[in-house]
Amino acid sequence: MTYSFKNDYSEGAHPNILKALLETNMNQEDGYGDDSHCLRAAEIIRKRIGKPHADIHFVPGGTQANLIVISSILRPYESVISAESGHINTHETGAVESTGHKINALPSVDGKLTPQGIRSVLKEHYFEHMVKPSMVYISNSTEVGTFYTANELKAISDCCKEEGLYLFADGARLGSALCADGNDLSIEEFASLVDVFYIGGTKNGALIGEAIVINNESLKPCFRYAMKQRGALLAKGRILGVQFEEFFKGDLYFDLARHANKMAAKLTDGIKNLDYGFMADSTTNQIFPILPNTLIKKMMESYGFYEWERVDEGNTAIRLVTSWATKEEAVESFLEDLKCFGLEV
Amino acid sequence: MTYSFKNDYSEGAHPNILKALLETNMNQEDGYGDDSHCLRAAEIIRKRIGKPHADIHFVPGGTQANLIVISSILRPYESVISAESGHINTHETGAVESTGHKINALPSVDGKLTPQGIRSVLKEHYFEHMVKPSMVYISNSTEVGTFYTANELKAISDCCKEEGLYLFADGARLGSALCADGNDLSIEEFASLVDVFYIGGTKNGALIGEAIVINNESLKPCFRYAMKQRGALLAKGRILGVQFEEFFKGDLYFDLARHANKMAAKLTDGIKNLDYGFMADSTTNQIFPILPNTLIKKMMESYGFYEWERVDEGNTAIRLVTSWATKEEAVESFLEDLKCFGLEV
Amino acid sequence: MTYSFKNDYSEGAHPNILKALLETNMNQEDGYGDDSHCLRAAEIIRKRIGKPHADIHFVPGGTQANLIVISSILRPYESVISAESGHINTHETGAVESTGHKINALPSVDGKLTPQGIRSVLKEHYFEHMVKPSMVYISNSTEVGTFYTANELKAISDCCKEEGLYLFADGARLGSALCADGNDLSIEEFASLVDVFYIGGTKNGALIGEAIVINNESLKPCFRYAMKQRGALLAKGRILGVQFEEFFKGDLYFDLARHANKMAAKLTDGIKNLDYGFMADSTTNQIFPILPNTLIKKMMESYGFYEWERVDEGNTAIRLVTSWATKEEAVESFLEDLKCFGLEV
Amino acid sequence: MTYSFKNDYSEGAHPNILKALLETNMNQEDGYGDDSHCLRAAEIIRKRIGKPHADIHFVPGGTQANLIVISSILRPYESVISAESGHINTHETGAVESTGHKINALPSVDGKLTPQGIRSVLKEHYFEHMVKPSMVYISNSTEVGTFYTANELKAISDCCKEEGLYLFADGARLGSALCADGNDLSIEEFASLVDVFYIGGTKNGALIGEAIVINNESLKPCFRYAMKQRGALLAKGRILGVQFEEFFKGDLYFDLARHANKMAAKLTDGIKNLDYGFMADSTTNQIFPILPNTLIKKMMESYGFYEWERVDEGNTAIRLVTSWATKEEAVESFLEDLKCFGLEV
């Protein structure tokens, strides 16, 4: 039996979420997100993010959130700018392209975009023989565990406004980003800087579900048509509403993210103490320590995790992901074993 | 407070399903359908339908099931034949067309296709200036509450084999069809007659989820790519596996369908006793009684249901849907009120 | 050797067109429609149709014109209303659906839409579970040889304005429609009643090419992007410009259409004199006489044409198409043979 | 008045081509590529390339050729590997993505792919969360004027066979490649190494048109459906057949390419004699000399060409394109002026 640090969706849902599903189970509700829970959850979120006029929609998963938002906004010949490492550009099996749109992918060491990078794409794409970049996609936290500071996001937001680009933030791990050590963005500020974003539930303790938040008026009309067409308007939308109500009626959403980050920080500290380096500097719930291949092999007997990137002949960066459900004892045991096995190999 | 006969997804999930989710909640499982529950559920279903080599995949909803199956099978210029009333042709916001394919829609009084109708489409579409019909879509039970008999389905299946068409059955309400009074198809026989079908969970007591079953070898490769691209490969695929395991480890799936049908039959009998007619002859969980408009208005004060189709100046067909959760007292109360109010108006 | 009445594109181009291509052949011009001919042709057409601010684009063919116009206007979940017999719904191999959009097809005896029909579609499509009809597609002349009168087109145009629908007219055979006996629409009036339309060249004596005319300001931006993406922005766009310049610098375009109609009228008169009936009442260049099957067989030995629709056991409607190139002697010979063979069979 | 070296489609068609169009103009022919000219042209090409069983189809332009070939071959989740500089990846406004497919773009200094590069993409794309690379796209000559040697193409072809990838060659400038100084590939050998390719007409003296050649049996069925759906099945397909018949009944196609290359070589020699460098080493009809900005400005007063890439503070690479129509006097005059102005600035 191994303990898994493979990802943040290895367990089911936080117990409070399941409890809420149980308690509301036999109430009759309208279908397709018109139920009382979705309405209430939307209202609570609007208040929490300080956007009383935002439109909020709940969908089952992140790939759906991304493809629906992007395809509902772009005209056929328009493209979206993303970091090369962006989830839409790597691990969604061409979902965005399947809706007809090119991704302009920018190399990036830390998984983040910059105004300079964005403008370089615009400069190159100036006439009708090329796609028309009309949207910027960022993820926060990023796929390599980094996050955007207030200044960084503000710079991108300003750039997008100046250049007439929509700004969309993938928040599959938004909780972890906003609770990260060093983060200086509140969710209100974050919400103010983007046209549309989603708050990830699946990777932060929900059974399933993400909440799409639309600030820009021009993007609001007919969004439910777009959802239905892509199969994201769930008959029992209530189960999404119930979960996000539970997340945001108190501070559960951020509590869970904080726990995940804390466990990652503990891992980071312990691994640093053993003098191993890291592929990237992360204070979110994904960390990328570099370990000797022999040690990795040994650790894999007791722990689940992915090898991420070969660093040199004898060393490889691995990915460790913590979550709302990660047990402190498991972290401690991992560090202990790392120490022991590290001495052996 | 009204009691709703609007649909079969007004409540959450059957208690056993929630119980199973709770009990397995904190186990660590692999993501994306590679968990032990999905594997076991698939194995149980294969046995139950007598198809040891079938590929089985779990997706969140019916529109996704339909659009993924159809778009993964057809070449760009190929089309799918459906009854005009087919769900893909009416209530999926053009999901199939959004993947690039035309639907050849055939008029049908009872929501069912016939070999004759299918062949009439083929005869019309004979050259490269027209789409190439390559697949037949049926729903069982249909959108108007009818179901296919063994002879009817066999005739369509034979026709498809002779004409080189794939046969796909939408089983959003498959349980209700196979448990309907008058049905002479076992699920084994049903499975043997189609290339691919799905077993609907959402409308039969699941929290969420449908199980796609692929019999035809040529349709199996790379199906998970198609799922991922459309956003249907859930990170926490386990929650789909857990539910279908619960459905099919015993006879829960069919028990729930039988209850829904029984409640509908009770409604039908009661309404017939009051001498009202029906728009269609249904023994599944959707019935379409024709009532005077004034009576409908009165009944709507206490019960939720949809007006379906205007019949004449003073009468309208309504739709009543029962489910695994429909309470017998609610049915009795509905019939009593119908009798009382019917005398008044 | 048979003489063909199969269609209006059996010959190459009108000699004046070829001459113009020859004379301008060795001039160096800019590519992609930025040449002097396209610019001049656009200017001449704007004047001729009384729309000084129209945007005009030249594309190789009709299917491209249709799919580019429609896909560049509609949002992903929006649909286009067409007569069931509309070219986009029948003979373009699902080109519109391949761009992601459903066609709402309305039955029609004479190939024409009416405000009543259009409104019936809108009434049915009222919520996000169905596509959103946002555009009306008509063809003038229609696929069965009829044309829209001023009153008919005005009624549709008013309906579209009231209902917020774009109106697009497929003018593959616009010349024939506007020169038809009984037509009371000038090209200026016609242009004023639609948001966008195209003037067909291929079927009226061009080697190749159609001119898309955009009146509605909101449809103008980025249209060249849409053209390029679908492969319709020809490197040697000049050859389209040269032809339309030749068409509209004088009255050649209408002269050719008039000749085609005159030849069709001569056929119609002759056939009527022989007491044969017609499937439709047409004064354009497509006519549909009903002939005995034995006579059809005999005539096919000397003339090319299509059988269109079986009328009864012994009779079939055929389609005869005339063009700018149809020789009067061929028409006379056809009528003579029809008379002779008609006596025999 | 300036002389243009902007591209190879500044003039109309080679006089022989126009003559052939004129001579065949009034013959009646069947539509949509079923005419006698298309049939004959296909037969002649099959013989010329030594592929008696190849399927040959004529389409209006290169972007259409690319998008039809690629979208007709790939399954929805499959992608195509291309050099970053590949035409489909840069200057087709996302045409391939608009059909739903991702392009895996590989950096390349000389516009060419290698087996090593191709395999690096395959290694990265190994599971269903990523697109499935299933096709390789190359252009010959490339967008930067280089061409594939026999060894280079054979290596790619072998790699594709081993890895189960289709190999598609964009031959917009195939003539120039196969007639280039240093080329060691005959058209027969070239044809044997790829699954499908197209022979470019537009950029080699045709009025319009490209010939798609399909060698691989599995790619042949229903290709005309794919063409029609994308609007590439021209009603007057005859005009494409006539031109390719003219190209290949003798050696006109290669004669024209040889002339273009000869003019480019003359420019290259002259520019080298003046001691200017080049961005790339090209013996095809596109060359990229590096000139001082002041000289470029001066030359632009008398000659048309594009600035291609800034090299340093004071120098820029320009693109000069020659064609079948380039006049030797224009080349001489360009070189003379370059010498004179070069002394001045």
By Cβ distance, the residue of D12, D18, D231 closest to C63 is D231
Name the helix (H) or strand (E) containing D252. Answer: helix D252-273
Tokens of residue B140, six digits: 């069982």
pLDDT-derived band at A280, boundaries 50, 70, 90: confident
pLDDT(D332) > 90: yes
One-letter amino acid identity for A296? I
Q: What is the CATH classification number for the domain harbouring C98?
A: 3.40.640.10
Please tell me the distance from the alpha carbon of residue A341 to that of residue A295, in angstroms, as a whole number. Answer: 7
DSSP B278: B
Phi, psi for residue C287 in degrees, rounded to 5: -130, 155
Residue A163: per-residue pLDDT? 98
Residue A198 shares a structural domain with residue A303:
no
Do D180 and D274 fall within a single domain?
Answer: no
Q: Are residues C194 and C247 in the same domain?
A: yes
Closest CA to C200 of C278, C256, C118: C256
C-proximal residues of A, 27-56, CB under 8 Å:
32
Please tell me the predicted confidence (pLDDT) of residue C1: 62
Nearest to A74 by CA among A176, A247, A226, A224: A226
pLDDT in tens, A139-151: 999 999 999 999 9
Contact C72 A75 (CB under 8 A): yes
Alpha-helix runs per DSSP H in D99-250: 115-124, 150-163, 174-178, 187-193, 223-229, 238-249
Å between A321 CA and nearest CA of chain D: 18
**Which H, E and C letters describe chain C, residue by residue?**
CCEECCCCCCCCCCHHHHHHHHHCCCCCCCCCCCCHHHHHHHHHHHHHHCCCCCEEEEECCHHHHHHHHHHHHCCCCEEEEEECCCHHHHCCCCHHHHCCCCEEEECCCCCCCCHHHHHHHHHHCCCCCCCEEEEEEEECCCCCCCCCCHHHHHHHHHHHHHHCCEEEEECCCHHHHHCCCCCCCCHHHHHHHCCEEEEECHHHCCCCCEEEEECCHHHCCCHHHHHHHCCCCCCCCHHHHHHHHHHHHCCHHHHHHHHHHHHHHHHHHHHHHCCCCECCCCCCCEECEEEEHHHHHHHCCCEECEEEEEEECCEEEEEEECCCCCCHHHHHHHHHHHHHHHHHC
Check if the beta carbon of residue A6 is closer than 8 Å to that of residue A305: yes
Contacts of C100 in chain B (CB under 8 A): 94, 97-100
Chain-centroid distance of CA A110 in Å reads 15
Q: Across chain D, what does the average pLDDT equal?
A: 97
Structure tokens at C43: 């200017």
Q: Are residues D158 and D300 in the same domain?
A: no
Please choose, from the candidates D84, D57, D67, the residue with its C-alpha nearest in 3D space to the C-alpha of residue D220.
D57
Q: What is the pLDDT of residues A297-345, one digit of tens each?
A: 999 999 999 999 999 999 999 999 999 999 999 999 999 999 999 888 6
Please tell me whether residues A56 and A169 are part of one structural domain.
yes
Burial of C53 (0-12, 13-18, 19+ CB in 10 A): exposed
Q: Is A125 on the interface with D (CB under 8 A)?
A: no
Structural element, H or E, at residue D20: helix D15-24
Average pLDDT over residues B92-103: 98
Out of D228, D229, D234, the one facing C60 most closely (by C-beta) is D234
Helices (H), A79-205: 87-90, 95-98, 115-124, 150-163, 174-178, 187-193
Query: D195: which 2 tokens?
Result: 């699954």
**Do B293 and B208 share a domain, yes or no?**
no
Q: Report CA D224 to chain centroid distance, whole Å.
A: 22
Residue to mutate among A67, A74, A128, with most C CBs inside 10 A, is A128
- Interchain CB contact of D219 with B (< 8 Å): no
**Best residue of B2, B6, B9, B99 to probe chain A, by most A CBs closer than 10 Å:** B9
Q: Are B162 and B181 found together in one domain?
A: yes
Question: In A113-250, where does DSSP find H-type helix?
Answer: 115-124, 150-163, 174-178, 187-193, 223-229, 238-249
CATH of the domain at B301: 3.90.1150.10
- With vertex at residue C16, the alpha carbon angle to CA C12 and CA C22, rounded to the nearest 5 degrees, is 85
Claim to verify: residue C151 and residue C207 sit in the same structural domain = yes
What is the domain count for chain C?
2
pLDDT of B345 higher than 80: no
Tell me: do B275 and B234 sit in the same domain: no
pLDDT in tens, B40-59: 999 999 999 999 999 999 99
Q: What is the amino acid identity at position A87?
A: H
Higher per-residue confidence, B1 vs C3: C3
Please report the pLDDT score of residue D344 as a whole number: 81
- CA distances, C95 to each of B97, C63, D97 (Å): 11, 7, 16
The answer to whether the CB atoms of D79 and A94 lie below 8 A apart is yes
- Six-digit token pair at B186? 């076992």
Give me the pLDDT at residue A109, please: 84
DSSP-H helix ranges across B25-149: 36-49, 62-73, 87-90, 95-98, 115-124
A204 and A312 fall within a common domain: no
Closest CA to A77 of A121, A125, A136: A125
- Residue A61: closest CA among A136, A170, A143: A170
Q: Which residues of D touch B131 (CB under 8 A)?
A: 225
d(CA B32, CA B236): 6
Q: What is the pLDDT confidence band of residue A58, given thresholds at 50, 70 and 90?
A: very high
Two tokens, residue B265: 């039959």
Type of residue found at A156: I
Pairing of strands B166-170, B132-139: parallel
**A157 preceded by a cis bond (ω within 30 of 0):** no
CA distance D70 to chain A (A): 14
| Contact residues on chain A for B28, CB-CB shorter than 8 A | 3-4, 10-11, 304
- Which residue among C92, C100, C129 places its CB closest to the CB of B98? C100
Answer whether D146's CB lies under 8 Å from D284's CB. Answer: yes
Task: Please give, one letter per residue, the 3-state secondary structure of B120-172.
Answer: HHHHHCCCCCCCEEEEEEEECCCCCCCCCCHHHHHHHHHHHHHHCCEEEEECC
> CB contact, 8 Å: D6 with chain A?
no
Looking at the predicted structure, is the pLDDT value of residue D155 above 90? yes
When pLDDT is averaged across residues B57-73 and rounded to a whole number, the result is 98
Q: Half-sphere exposure of B217 toward its Cβ, with a 13 Å CA cutoff? A: 1
d(CA B229, CA B219) in angstroms, rounded, equals 16
Using DSSP's 3-state secondary structure scheme, residue A3 falls into: strand
| Cβ contact, residue pair D129, A79, below 8 Å | no
Angle at D138 between CA D132 and CA D140, to 5 degrees: 175
Q: Which of B252, B271, B287 is the last residue of a domain?
A: B252
Average pLDDT of the segment spanning A223-245: 98
- Do D217 and D270 have their domain in common? no
- Do A9 and A202 contact (CB within 8 A), yes or no? yes
What number is the average pLDDT over the span D136-157?
98
Partner A contacted by D123 (CB < 8 A) = no
Greatest Cα pair distance, chain D, in angstroms, is 62
> Do A112 and A152 touch, CB atoms closer than 8 A?
yes
Distance CA C90, CA C67 (A): 13
Half-sphere CA count of B181, side-chain side, radius 13 A: 14
Q: In 3-state terms, what secondary structure has residue B235?
A: coil
CA neighbours closer than 13 Å in the CB half-sphere of residue C95 = 31
Q: What is the pTM of this model?
A: 0.97
Secondary structure of residue A105 in the 3-state scheme: strand
**Final residue belonging to a domain, choices A252, A285, A309:** A252
Q: Which residues of C touch A228 (CB under 8 A)?
A: 77, 128-129
Q: Are B173 and B285 in contact (CB under 8 A)?
A: yes
Beta bridge partners of D310: D316
* Interval C96-105: pLDDT, tens: 999 999 999 9
**Residue at token pair 């046969």:** B167
Chain A: residue nearest D125 by CA? A90
Q: What is the pLDDT along chain C (345 residues), one digit of tens a residue?
A: 689 999 999 999 999 999 999 999 999 999 999 999 999 999 999 999 999 999 999 999 999 999 999 999 999 999 999 999 999 999 999 999 999 999 999 999 899 999 999 999 999 999 999 999 999 999 999 999 999 999 999 999 999 999 999 999 999 999 999 999 999 999 999 999 999 999 999 999 999 999 999 999 999 999 999 999 999 999 999 999 999 999 999 999 999 999 999 999 999 999 999 999 999 889 999 999 999 999 999 999 999 999 999 999 999 999 999 999 999 999 999 999 999 998 886
Model confidence band, residue B1 (pLDDT cutoffs 50, 70, 90): low
Q: Which of C213, C100, C183 is nearest to A100 (CA)?
A: C100
Q: Domain range for residue C136?
A: 15-252
- Residue of A34, A225, A233 to mutate for C, most C C-beta atoms under 10 A: A225
Query: What pLDDT does residue C344 have?
Result: 81
Work out the angle at residue B4's Cα, subtended by the Cα atoms of residues B3 and B9, and round it to the nearest 5 degrees: 135
In one-letter notation, the amino acid at residue B262 is K
Task: Give the number of other Cβ atoms within 10 Å of residue D295's Cβ.
Answer: 21
User: Same domain, yes or no, for D218 and D75?
Assistant: yes
For the segment D138-146, the average pLDDT, to the nearest whole number, is 97
C-alpha D239/C-alpha C9 separation (Å) is: 11
pLDDT at D129: 98
Rg of chain D on CA atoms, in Å: 21
Q: Is the predicted pLDDT of residue D1 greater than 80, yes or no?
A: no
* Residue C309: φ, ψ to 5°: -155, 130
DSSP B217: G
Residue at which a domain ends, from B211, B236, B252: B252
B268 DSSP assignment: H
Q: What is the C-alpha separation between B267 and B262, in angstroms, rounded? A: 9
A14 near B CB under 8 A: no
CB contact under 8 A, D128 and B77: no
- Residue B40 DSSP SS3: helix
